[in-house]
Structure 1
Amino acid sequence: MTHIFPIRVYYEDTDMAGIVYHANYLKYIERARSDWVREMGLDQNAMRERDGIVFVVRRIEADYLAPAKYDDHLEVRTVTTAVTGVRLVMGQEVWRGGTLLFRAEVTAVCVTIDGHPARLPAVIRKPVH
């Protein structure tokens, strides 16, 4: 199942040429992942306070394919590609209409507040469709 998250490019997102600054794509995909987790019913503040665990990004591999520009309407698409007890791998893409602008493979894990590995929440570990 694909999670869709809309983004509008604001002036603050761009460089002097009016093109989205490369690091902002990482912000866009982070927002999309946070929204996806929230829609699953997971409260990350409660996870931290009650269970003492948080999500962290372990790895990102990214490809910048075409520029987004000021005032563009973008869509971040997130798909789960692999899940184990402790690791979640997602494919994320940023689209403008029918044009793929950016894609990334993101590996996330859970850790305790002290930085030790922890199991992913059960709702995340359910089988990938």
Structure 2
Amino acid sequence: MNHRFPVHVYYEDTDLAGIVYYANYLKFIERARTEWVRGLGIDQSRLKEAEGIVFAVRRVEADYLMPARFDDALEVDTTVEQVKGARIVLKQDVLRDGERLFSAIVTLVALQESGQPARLPANIRLILH
């Protein structure tokens, strides 16, 4: 399963050198994950209300390979690597014209509102496999 999300680099995304500030790549991939989940038909607000489950980022392993610059048209490519129990592992790449600029392995966990791990509901596990 693969999801593509377009991102346009705005002036506010860049640093004094005109390149994307490193922390903004995390914002780009967060937006892509949100749209990916929405596109799968998973309503996170309803999941929280009905089952008391929310998703949280547990770990991000990131590689900054090449700089993106003001006005670049980028794409975030999201791929499911692993689904287990309460955990989803994703690979997310930020691309410019097919060239990888940034790559991350992101581990998401399902949590109860108390902060304790929660098993992913069966319907969500089916969607992700």
TM over 0.5: yes
* TM-score, scaled relative to structure 2: 0.94
Deviation at 1:127, TM superposition (A): 7.5
* TM-score, scaled relative to structure 1: 0.94
Q: Output the amino acid matched with 2:73.
A: H
Tell me the distance in 2 between the aligned counterparts of 1:127 and 1:12: 36
Deviation at 1:122, TM superposition (A): 2.8
1:64-123 residue CA offsets vs partner (Å, 9 max, x unmatched): 000000000000000001111211000000000031100000010110111011012334
Q: Output the amino acid matched with 1:86.
A: A
- 2:47 match: 47
- 1:31 match: 31
User: Residues 27 and 84 of structure 1: is their aligned pair in 2 closer, same or farther, counting only changes over 3 Å?
Assistant: same
Deviation at 1:40, TM superposition (A): 0.8
Percent sequence identity over aligned pairs:
60
- How do residues 1-129 of structure 1 correspond to structure 2 at under 5 angstroms? 1-126=1-126
Check whether the contact 2:52–2:112 (CA below 8 A) recurs between aligned residues.
Answer: yes
Check whether the contact 2:10–2:70 (CA below 8 A) recurs between aligned residues.
Answer: yes
Tell me the distance in 2 between the aligned counterparts of 1:111 and 1:40: 19
Q: CA-atom RMSD, angstroms?
A: 1.4
Number of equivalences: 129
